[in-house]
Structure 1
Amino acid sequence: MEFPAEAFLPGPRAEIDGAPGGPLAGLTFAAKDLFDVAGHVTGGGNPDWGATHPVPTAHAWAVQALLDGGATLVGKTITCEISLGILGYNPFNGTPPNPAAPGCLPGGSSSGSASAVAAGLCDTALGTDSGGSVRVPSSLCGLYGMRTTLGAVPLEGCCRQAPTFDTVGWFARDAATFARVTEVMLATTLPAPDRPRILIAEDAFSFADAEVATALRPVAARIGAALGGAETVSIAEPGELEVWASQRNILQRAESWQTFRGWIDAVNPRFGYSVARNLANASAITAEQVALAQVARRRAVERARVLLEGGALLCIPTTPFTAPPVGLSLSELDRYSARIGLLTSFAGLVSLPQINLPLATAGGKPCGLSLIGWRGADARLAAIARYLEETA
């Protein structure tokens, strides 16, 4: 299934100089191959997507924002097929390497963007996050990365997947660079870091491998001490996180089927087996299943409001494990993917911002710690990440 690949798409690079004198002048960036770059095919990680869609004549909003900010585009990066993947592999374009854990998967579907930043091939890179596709590669590749509040960054000129989950995100190797990019992408100045209550989610930590939890607990304690204190909480009642993960999966897959069904019907495109299977399963999801899943979503929103609307930040492992090896069987990949959803579904269901802090390793590989805030806390999370780096 796996074969060697680089982070960037093969062929001529999409290279565009940024505006002179902008706040990001001197920085380079890459764009996941879901973002339009004028004059270049948007391939979407699938051989039939680019062939059946017109070459864009304008840049995606996010690409234009970085160019206007002064950053220089150095290429487009490999993505999982039409963004339907969480571990980073692609049977058509190849799987980008994980520079932080050689021989291991990078995480996806923003796999190429994370790989390029981790390898030092660019300073920052655009990704998208619906079910975890910025958060997961950030954790597995040892990067700062954020899923933004739903709607915080325009998605114009970007291939969509699931409208109530799709968000724009970005990566950086250090918090200072991440903060600079965040200010441009959110068109704001980061606030002074505050001293929020840090809520360490014990039920989320229980899903992590022992070595990951052991590596992350002291980091969470240090963050709590640096920001004024921490307390242990549970996100949900026993068994609810598992329910939320399964119901998030139903909602996201149902939306993805609605997004792609017309194109699939017209083109009969080629897919790797796992993507084809998941789309076929999505086509069978009923309105009754969606309605039941919406009940679970409302319960997650209610719980998030109680925990976070007052300004507290929730601390959880970003992923329950470090980067898995390449070459796994489909059944093994499915098991890893399902475990990821136990930790990524909460923020996705509730449309919350979540930042990965690359502050620990386990077994010599990165493992990330996340802070989750209430809706609109994106700039605040980036400011806290910068503060923690400055005071480390």
Structure 2
Amino acid sequence: MRTRPDKTSPDITYSWILKCIDHFSKFSWAFPLRNKSANDVATKLRDLFFTFGPPRILHSDNGREFISNVITELKNLFPDLVFIRGRPRHPQSQGCIERANGILCEALGKWMCTNNSTSWSFALAPVIYGLNTRMSSVTKTTPYEVMFGQQPRSDSDFWKLIQQNGVEDEENLPTPVAELNDELNDDLNDDQGDSLIHFDKGIDADVVDLDKLSNDAVSCSLSNTPSTPRSSSITEKTPKKHDLVRKIATDNYLTTANKKMKLYRDSLNLIANNFNINDCVGIAIHTVDRTNTDPKYLPCLIIEKNEKNNISLYKLICQYGILQNTFEAGQFMNLKDACPNELKQIDVSTLKPITIIEASKLYSRGSTTGRTCNCQGKCATKSCP
């Protein structure tokens, strides 16, 4: 997303923020960018994927930085990665990241006001950390816990004790370190039967049984083959605490999602009762496709009404053709009392398919063709609308 220029040095000025979010855990990353080029975006995504692993699905908008060849080359590095791009002129298809962007902007402003700072690039890291460590209303836990299976340790009593005593040398650490070490050793002995690497009780605890280590390494490598019977036993040894956190988050996530989906469907069905075939409705024209003096809605007629997943979907026509996409009742503006005469008298059989973008441009005063520009850079022919 674009923001105001932040000049951190005479040679560096940041003007953009690349925001990434994990859809399930809501864990976020944010990077300041000097420009919105495909190379810069691809470099940040590449570093992110090699650090945390690639996602199964990469969902983005239709910006040039996400449709260039540099981005598609990530597919060669991660063959299982699936690219999905949202509908043009429809930010609702990226609702998760759009809401997160709004929250990030508000949080940046509050942090800068509280800390008397004018550099949003400097505030980006602490603000993102704060968002990742606060409770999510969807999963009922923090994104940090869902991602790593534990709470952040920066606010623990141990670190506060070190800060209060001004400890800077390891030899001056307070006594709780020894107690913590004893507790860790006790936990290690209790979980000795479940750990992948065992310690020999007859030798020092710091010396690893090399024979056992090599056997476990061989077992892990063989577990990748389908015929190995030990693969199931190795996969069962995942951290139990992390599994519990993710299960709680999953249950809360699905409960919230199903509740919102039901409310959404009920509201759409209630609105759909007001619209039938041959009714005149208006579809909002995106601000990119019109000027501030052009009409805000494209008049259309309903020619079909179908049901899919308990939601009513409508097929529309306008004076320029049959709109290719289907629409929900929530996207309509009631124009029953303001339907244009040329739309009432139109012959449907003579109409050809047309996109909503082309129809919107034709309905605007400044366009003559309705065709959209597909230029990757500056228009070379100077004929794009």
TM-score by length of 2: 0.22
Question: Which is higher, the Rg of structure 1 or of structure 2?
Answer: 2
TM-score by length of 1: 0.22
Structure number with the bigger relative contact order (C-alpha 8 A, sep ≥ 6) is 1
